[in-house]
Amino acid sequence: MKRKRITKAIACSLCGVMALTTPIQSMASGASAKIVHSADGIDYSDYSPSDTTLPSGYAVENASAAAVQNGTLTIPAEANGKPVYALNRRFMANSGAETIAIGKNVRAFNSDAFLEALSVKGYQVNTENRILKVETGENPVLYRYDGTVLMDYPSAAEKADFKVPDTTAVIYSMDNAKFGTLDLNQVNLVAYDSFAGTYADTFTIRANLKTRVNNTPVRFSGHGLHAKQFIVRELEAGENGSYLKTKNGNDLHTDDGELLKLSSDAEISDVDWTKPGKSFH
């Protein structure tokens, strides 16, 4: 059965994280930027990088199907003689591209940049780009250059088992992806929409995982996530902030009894409805 596409409700959930993980530059969300140049199916707005030694350039606002050649959407190094530095929110959601080839000058992102790209199966990054990298396991996944941030797991990648690398602490987007087992490993912070429409047979997380909303880490929401079973990994000695629990893998709840998420296989009897603070996402 085809899964329903879930619309993203909150933009730039991780702008604060972007600012902390330099040299990646964050982009604030808001009203649509003014289109100042269009070419080859891509619309651009003006963009000034935080590094004042660099010239002004462009941000990609929208890439249509006209920009896709043989299934690949290429973000150029330059357009109209100006560097292309940035990718704005959901810039490729309507492109239909299967592969995204990112140019050498891209250095800034809206945290919703890669959301709802339902046709994307993988990424390529220009070898001169020093901000991003692609890890080509079973599916090509986009990361910050040092692996600390998983930028996007392709929505249209083949269903697979996936364990996030040990170095990764933050996830921007895995929306609408399909997994057998999904192990977030050392991840402790995710965007509000990271798992919107995501499906996993087994979903493993740390007991201190938080969701970032309006630049504030809050209790994990699991917004839009569908999982058959939850596994909560306890923290190691000396680590702080543990609060997530599970009852036989059928739910996620907090240590003070707030129900955060039910598994897709849970029964009504799996929930203690006498406890306060029920919350579903």
Q: What percent of the chain has pLDDT over 70?
A: 83
pLDDT-derived band at 138 (thresholds 50, 70, 90) equals confident
Q: Is the pLDDT of residue 199 over 90?
A: yes
pLDDT-derived band at 16 (thresholds 50, 70, 90) equals very low
Q: Is the pLDDT of residue 29 over 90?
A: no
The model's pLDDT over 224-242, given as tens digits with 9 standing for 90+, comes to 999 999 999 999 888 899 9
Q: Exposed, middle or buried by CB within 10 Å (0-12, 13-18, 19+), for 170?
A: buried
Q: Is the pLDDT of residue 9 over 80?
A: no
Q: Exposed, middle or buried by CB within 10 Å (0-12, 13-18, 19+), for 70?
A: exposed
Alpha carbon 175 to its chain centroid, in Å, reads 7
Q: Strand, coil or helix: what is 109?
A: strand
Any bridge partners for residue 52, and if so which?
none
DSSP β-ladder status, 99-102 and 68-69: unpaired
Contacts of 252 (CB under 8 A, 6+ apart): 220, 222, 230, 232, 244, 245, 246, 259, 260, 261
Q: Hey, what are 218's tokens?
A: 């809050």
Q: What average pLDDT score do residues 111-125 get?
A: 93
The model's pLDDT over 238-268, given as tens digits with 9 standing for 90+, comes to 889 999 999 889 999 999 989 899 998 877 6
DSSP string, 7-22: PP--S-TTHHHHHHST
pTM: 0.85
